[in-house]
Amino acid sequence: MTDYLVKQEDLDLLERTKDRCNNCQKCPLGLLRTKSVFSGGVPNKKLMLVGEAPGYWEDQKGEPFVGKAGQLLDKIFASVGFSRQNDVYICNTLKCRPPDNRNPLPEEKDACREFLDIQVGTLKPRIILLCGNIAVQSFIEGARGITKVRGQWFDGPYGAKMMPIFHPSYLLRNDSREKGSPKWLMWQDIQEIRRVYDELFKDS
């Protein structure tokens, strides 16, 4: 039986890295932030979600996905019995909010990458969900757009299974639930994620 408990030394490393992140001035976003947003949910070795960057509310609270998009994300997880309190470690490609929520610049992603690498390398989660194009580009070189790659499994770091999924803010802009719509596709994807999760961890 595989042990999926996160060791205390790994939790300590994540805490120390979070402290460094809170003081980071490696790119100009460090001067603009209210709070940096290192992670949310629960550190675990099974399921991680990587998003894009903090928005207004995340910057205010220092927690990822706490605005409207985050509330939808919680509902999507809840629809298959996952919760951020028990099942998912949540982080972003950038730990500080870009002005007006613009896309992260390459130099910002480069400056922030070490934090994401430590998060992935410390937890080595078996499943990584790449939420939206920015997260996809951080892990899959030359990836096509999210509508082409969502719902497919890719090989990720440390043997992880990785799946690109739509960003919840995209779903908020596309309200239809008809067959083939983004919301409908997300429903297919989250069920597939639950299926693979159950299969991987059936003995743990």
Where do contacts with ligand URA occur on this chain (CB under 6 A)?
Answer: 51-55, 58, 64-65, 69-70, 92
CB of 53 or CB of 111, closer to ligand URA: 53
Which of residues 45 and 84 has its CB atom nearest to ligand URA in the complex? 84
Kindly state the smallest distance separating residue 73's Cβ from ligand URA, in Å. 8
Kind of pairing between the strands at 127-131 and 47-51: parallel
Between 64 and 151, CB nearer to ligand URA: 64
**Cα 203 to Cα 180: distance, rounded to the nearest angstrom:** 34
Minimum CB distance to ligand URA, residue 76 (Å): 13
Strand blocks (E) in the chain: 40-41, 47-51, 89-92, 127-131, 154-155, 161-165
Residue nearest to ligand URA according to CB distances in the complex: 51
b/e per residue 85-105 (b: at least 16 CB within 10 A): eebbbbbbbbbbbbeeeeebe
Of the pair 54, 125, the CB lying nearest ligand URA is at 54
Instruction: Give the whole-angstrom CA distance, residue 152 versus residue 165.
Output: 9
Which of residues 92 and 119 has its CB atom nearest to ligand URA in the complex? 92
- Name, in order, each residue with C-beta under 8 angstroms of 203's C-beta and a sequence gap of 6 or more: 1, 2
Question: Which residue is associated with the tokens 């910002």?
Answer: 108
CB of 26 to ligand URA, least distance (A): 19
Least CB distance from residue 72 to ligand URA, whole Å? 10
Query: Cα 103 to the chain's mean position, in Å?
Result: 16
**To the nearest whole angstrom, how small is the minimum distance from the Cβ of residue 115 to ligand URA?**
14
